[in-house]
Amino acid sequence: MRAGTRGSVGIVREAYSAWERRAPFTPEQVQRLVNKYGVDVVVQPSGKRVFADGEFERAGATLSDDLSGCAAIFGVKQAPIDTLLKDKTYLFFSHTIKGQLENMELLDKILEKNIRLIDYECITKNGTAGAPRLVAFGQYAGMAGMIDAIRGVGQQLLHQGLSSPFLSVGSAYMYPSYETAKCAVRDAGRAFTQQRAQQVWPDRFDPLVFLFTGRGNVNQGARQVFYHVPHRMVPPEDLERVLHEGKDLPPIIGCQVDLHHMVERRTDGGFDRKEYYTAPEKYKSVFYERLARHANVLVNGIYWDARFPRVLAKRDLERTDLDRRLHFVADISCDIGGGIEILDRSTTIEDPFLVGLGPKNDLDVMGVDILPSELPREASQHFGDYLLPFVAELAQGTPTASLAAELQGACIADQGELRPRYTYIDQLRRERLRELNGLPLTDERSSLQIEGSAVLRLSGHLFDTGLVNRMLDIVEAQSPHGRFHIVECMVGSQCESTMLLQLTMDGGRKQLDQVLTRMNTLVGDPEFAEAEAKLEELPSSFCNGDFKATIQPLGECEDTQADQGGATPRAETAGALAGGRTLAMQRALSLGPGPDAKDTAGFLDQGKDSSSKLIAPSLTKVAVLGAGMVAKPCAELLSRDSSRHVFVVSAMPGEAESLCARVGRTNLEAVLLNAQEEDDRLAALIKDCDAVISLLPQTMHVPVARHCIKAGTPLVTASYVSPEMRSLHEEAKAKGVPILCEMGLDPGMDHMSAQQVIDEMHEEGIEVKSFSSVCGGLPAPEAADNPFGYKFSWSPRGVLMAMRNPAKYLKDGAVVQVRGEDLLTAAEPFRMYNLPSLALEQLPNRDSTMYAEAYRIPEAATCFRGTLRYEGFSALMIELVNAGFLREDTSLAEILAAFPKSGSPGADAVQWLLDANYDDKKHGAQPAMDGLCALLESKLALKPGERDMTVMQHSFNDGERSSKLLVYGSKSDTAMARTVGLTAAIGVELMLDPVDPLASRATGVLVPTLKSIYKPALDRLASEGLVFHESVRA
């Protein structure tokens, strides 16, 4: 790469989102940089960028991952922290100038690496603070958001029983350009006007009212699109009257509101803009009552913060004294839990709408946070046009003091320090931490509490050695000047556990360090050598600085604690008892086995146990058996309904209690119960409940089912129907009890989505001649960072054993048999229709032939179900199997002694496993299978912050139709946990439907291939963001 006097700049590969397809410069602009400005441009290759790599190359750029020779590096969104290069100039949207806690780790790393950061958000006219921004995407957010909103309006109208031409409008990203999208909107608007001239609609949709808030670029972009829909604008002051009179109204009305239409002074109903911005507490919102309820569609372009009244509060939607037409909200500003309070999470470009919200489940909300990326070509052109004049001086490494005023004003960090204009970020950061934790903004004591707060990870044999109690005793000894909160507790195999523990010491970092010293001393104490414990302090970014669970706000003083027996009022409301033990934990301990445990008859007699929760007789009770990975999203969904009481049952001390604490709802209760050994207590619990979910191992489902049949309690499981379970069908049917099995991902979502398409094809008179279905739970591509391309979310032994299962399937009318020992050799390359770059392979999964009957497709000559892995997995595992790594009659040490140390993928993978991890006494002496499992479990687990993904695809008639699902894990739950846990929970919701419970339609042992099950279940899954995308090949 040339540097010389020409200067050089780099363009990074965007990593913020899969949908971030923008670039800071277009290929045409790169050509101008190279030829006109004399700047060398290095572009990191990217397959998802809207401009092909070859276009940049033809424009004169160099394609390379290496940007180390570039003086300045341009991106759009934040660069990944681990890719930042020392001593470079970076330009991107950093989202740090408001002290955003989630990006403070990025800012810290920029300072540490002596990076000069120039933020596009701060590039203003003449570099003057407060002057108009030169690089802004608000207009494109408004344009894309309005296009998407019109699509959403069409879908919402359809939900209300009204078909409209707006259904033909796609999301903005579905069009090759804004011009084609604009034409689609214009044509749909004209068709809508023609349709309405010939058809009478209900009054609440006649006319269709669009209400716009805001006056900035976002609003202008949205109004620019709305302009192409035939409409009449009505002043806000006249809206209610015009609708009431109903004279000569067009099919669509628009209404633009300003602040004085939305709020009024509490004392006299007046409005002063300057006063409102300086003292917003003097004002109250009148927006819903006077305007929003009269609109069908609200397009919000106002950015909100906590000082001001909300644009639309939840309590507004709950009002029963006012009629409401409002059924769709497009929150283009996308402030989560902000101006539009009911928007509790951002939506995605591929699934932009939250459906069925509000007390009547009739409100759809859109909140996509990267809308400009839906118009990547236009947005990139706009972006680059403003940046071009500044590139040459950056390419030469010009010192900050000599840069153009616009760049100087936008330089946040330089030479390891914040620039003078931005030193306020440190103070704002501290204030945000205090605000987040409910503390006064200026108080020495609150500063000490924040400094004295941390999250610790403690792992090892915590419970069976008693180490965890001794650890908590150290913290309790600091009371009342120290508190703890169990964030998460995961109990693994062989009693090994991991606990995340949040601490706050009122004395600040000095007191915290003293506590950590005592804890580390305890970890190293010979008394606890068998615990094999490890203690580490996690970075503050782990919880984004949120320590509310243990921070004690000013005013909750020691005198109050003494009156409360050591518990602060704040801790009391969080369910904490003396020393931080939670009510759920005490409940679990009180129900534990032993002479002090309650007898069976009194198991749920809440009045007999002072530590038990009182459950109102009218509450619906649900038992979730099992508190593992998939139980959290399951319990979270079920507990959203405050009229339910959900028992979370586990045999592992602390596991259920930890889950309940993480979800944090008062209608969740942890129960310590061993379902295998305490049959009477299990029976009593089931008898007392209205529904049961069994997330236990498959072998335990049948005993649970027998109890459910006897008690008349519906049951849901996520496992395949075993012969033993199938034998209970007639008995369950005779008792009128539904036992809904295979209600997870695979099996579960696969059955429902496949059967839905099959039934649709049959209704259209189309025979299903071939059917193929594949599914896999995998690490996301960025987390597949090991030779196996795999990470375990369940027992490695289970995965390895599954590689020995025989399989059979139909192909072109013939049955293909695959012996267990040949399964890996049957792997074939696989590509998803919409993601051809994702290199996968498919292996046959057990007996597929039975599904021709199960899915009611006797005409199918091909019927295949497979499991997905990353390409190369099977070839690697064949090496290990052939070498004897799965043997149980030979030690791992013996296998390793005969196995080559290099020269093949398998040899390299084994060496990777052994590096800094292998203990000859611990692993080598074990049978080969056990030793390998231990190594795999220790090295192939998802790390904090890593994502998994679930991939599913059905193909009908050789791809003429297809149905696809791709789900990524989040910070709170893995994709596997969500897809399994939510599906099982939705099964219970079908059971408990007050209008049409499943038992009224089907009983006995069931799988979800009935339309009465799969249709409502898939609709409910879609509302949770788990959407199958169906396509028909032209």
**pLDDT single digits (tens) 700-746:** 999 999 999 999 999 999 999 999 999 999 999 999 999 999 999 98
974 vs 943, more confident: 974
Structural contact between residues 151 and 169, judged by C-beta atoms closer than 8 angstroms: yes
Neighbours of 863 (CB within 10 A): 23
Q: At what angle do helices 138-159 and 217-226 cross, to 10 degrees?
A: 50
Q: Contact, 761 vs 956, CB < 8 A?
A: yes
Which of 251-265, 428-442, 721-735, 782-796 shows the lowest per-residue confidence on average (mean pLDDT)?
Answer: 428-442
Smallest Cα–Cα separation from 291: which of 326, 320, 342, 265?
326
Which two tokens mark 170? 């796609």
Token digits of residue 411: 């330089």
Tens of pLDDT, residue by residue over 577-597, are 223 333 333 323 222 333 232
Alpha-helical segments (H) within 248-331: 259-262, 273-278, 287-290, 314-317
Contact call for residues 996 and 736 (beta carbons, < 8 A): no
Asked whether 532 and 938 are in contact (CB, 8 A), the reply is no
Q: Do residues 214 and 333 lie in contact, with contact meaning Cβ atoms separated by under 8 Å?
A: yes
Quick one: DSSP state of residue 825? G
Predicted pLDDT at 606? 29
Average pLDDT over residues 85-92: 96
Strand partners of residue 535 = 458
User: For the sheet containing 668-672, what is the strand order?
Assistant: 668-672, 644-650, 620-625, 691-694, 715-717, 738-740, 1004-1006
Structure confidence at residue 574 (pLDDT)? 27
Look at residues 453, 482, 489 and name the one whose alpha carbon lies nearest to residue 468. Answer: 489
User: So what's the pLDDT on residue 585?
Assistant: 33
pLDDT for 640 equals: 81
- The enclosing H or E element of 956 equals strand 948-956
Look up residue 647 and give its two tokens.
Answer: 């028992």
Q: Which residues pair with 455 in a beta bridge?
A: 502
Percent of the chain residues topping a pLDDT of 90: 47
Residue 599 pLDDT class (50, 70, 90 cuts): very low
Question: Helix, strand or coil for residue 133?
Answer: strand
Amino acid making up residue 763? E
Sheet holding 89-92, edge to edge: 62-63, 40-43, 8-11, 72-74, 89-92, 116-119, 411-414, 417-418
Taking the CA atoms of the chain, what radius of gyration do you get in angstroms? 31
Task: Report how far apart, in Å, the C-alpha atoms of 223 and of each of 170, 218, 230 are.
Answer: 18, 9, 12
Please give the pLDDT value at position 556. 38
Instruction: Say how far apart CA 72 and CA 534 lie, in whole Å.
Output: 42
Structure tokens at 163: 């078909």
Domains in the chain, CATH or no CATH each = 8-136+376-429 (3.40.50.720), 142-367 (3.40.50.720), 445-579 (3.30.70.2690), 581-739+975-1008 (3.40.50.720), 767-956 (3.30.360.10)
Q: Say what the pLDDT of residue 439 is.
A: 52
Judged against a pLDDT cut of 60, whether residue 79 lies above it is answered with: yes
Catalytic residues, by residue number, are 746
Instruction: Tell me if 845 sits within 8 A of 761, measured CB to CB.
Output: no
DSSP notation for 657-719: HHHHHHHT-TTEEEEE--TTT-HHHHHHHHHH-SEEEE-S-GGGHHHHHHHHHHHT--EEESS
Query: Across the chain, which distance is largest between two alpha carbons, in Å?
Result: 91
Dist. CA 638–CA 983, nearest whole Å: 11
Predicted structure pTM score: 0.47
Q: With CA atoms as reference, report the closest residue to 679 among 651, 713, 654.
A: 651
Cβ–Cβ < 8 Å for 753, 1019: no
Ranges 563-567, 648-652, 965-969: which has the least confidence: 563-567
CB-CB contact of 924 with 931 (8 Å): yes
How many CB atoms sit inside 10 A of residue 961's CB? 19
Would you give the DSSP letter of residue 923?
I
Query: Is the confidence at residue 566, as pLDDT, over 60?
Result: no
Given a cut of 60, is residue 492 above it in pLDDT?
A: no
| Contact in structure between 548 and 501 (CB atoms under 8 Å) | no
CA angle, 835 then 755 then 152, to 5°: 60
197 class by beta-carbon count within 10 Å (0-12 exposed, 13-18 middle, 19+ buried)? exposed
268's CB contacts (< 8 A; 6+ apart) are none
Report d(CA 748, CA 721) in Å as an integer. Answer: 11
Q: Tell which wins on pLDDT, 77 or 129.
A: 77
User: How far, in Å, CA of 211 to CA of 179, rounded?
Assistant: 24
E strand or H helix at 89:
strand 89-92
Burial call 630-656: b when 16+ CB within 10 Å, e when fewer = bbbbbbbbbbeeeebbbbbbbbbbbbb
pLDDT in tens, 840-857: 999 999 999 999 999 999
Name every residue whose Cβ is closer than 8 Å to that of residue 41 and which is 6 or more positions away in sequence. Answer: 8, 9, 10, 11, 25, 30, 33, 34, 56, 60, 61, 62
Extract long-range pairs of 844-850: CB within 8 Å, 24+ residues apart.
844/807, 844/808, 844/809, 844/816, 844/818, 845/807, 846/805, 846/806, 846/807, 847/807, 847/808, 847/809, 848/807, 848/808, 848/809, 848/810, 849/808, 849/809, 849/810, 849/815
Distance CA 279, CA 949 (A): 47
| Nearest one of 811, 807, 800 to 826, comparing CA atoms | 807
> Of 375-379, 466-470, 515-519, 827-831, which range is least confident?
466-470
Task: Tell me the pLDDT band of 568, cut-offs 50, 70 and 90.
Answer: very low
DSSP string of 453-470, one letter each residue: EEEEEEEES-STTSHHHH
* Cβ atoms 218, 139 nearer than 8 A: yes
The answer to whether 986 and 1026 have CB atoms below 8 angstroms apart is no
What's the chain's average pLDDT? Answer: 84
pLDDT band at residue 401 using 50, 70 and 90 as cut-offs: very high
Contact indicator for 74, 387 with CB cutoff of 8 Å: yes
pLDDT band at 125 (very low <50, low <70, confident <90, very high): confident
- 224 or 568, which is more confident: 224
Mean pLDDT of 27-46: 94
Residues near 119 by Cβ (< 8 Å), separated by ≥ 6?
91, 92, 93, 94, 96, 97, 410, 412
State the average pLDDT over residues 241-250. 86
pLDDT of residue 431: 63
pLDDT-wise least confident of 198-202, 233-237, 516-520, 793-797? 793-797
The whole-angstrom separation of Cα 313 and Cα 344 is 12
What is residue 779's DSSP assignment?
E
Name the burial class of residue 215, with classes exposed (0-12), middle (13-18) and buried (19+) by CB atoms within 10 angstroms of its CB: middle
Euclidean distance between CA atoms 824 and 809, whole angstroms: 15
Contacts of 675 (CB under 8 A, 6+ apart): 625, 649, 651, 682, 696, 700, 703, 704
3-state secondary structure 866-879: EEEEECCHHHHHHH
Instruction: Give the strands of the sheet with 232-233, arranged side by side.
Output: 232-233, 252-256, 208-212, 297-300, 328-331, 363-366, 353-357
Cβ burial, residue 512 (10 Å; 0-12/13-18/19+):
buried
pLDDT interval class at 763 (50, 70, 90) = confident
Ranges 596-605, 649-658, 858-867: which has the least confidence: 596-605
pLDDT digit string, tens, across residues 143-183: 999 999 999 999 999 999 999 999 999 999 999 889 899 99
**Residue (of 640, 157, 178, 632) closest to 353 by Cα position:** 157
Q: What is the DSSP string of 720-736?
A: PPPHHHHTTHHHHHHHT
Cα–Cα distance between 525 and 519 in angstroms, integer?
Answer: 10
Question: Quick check: 688 and 615 in contact, CB under 8 A?
Answer: no
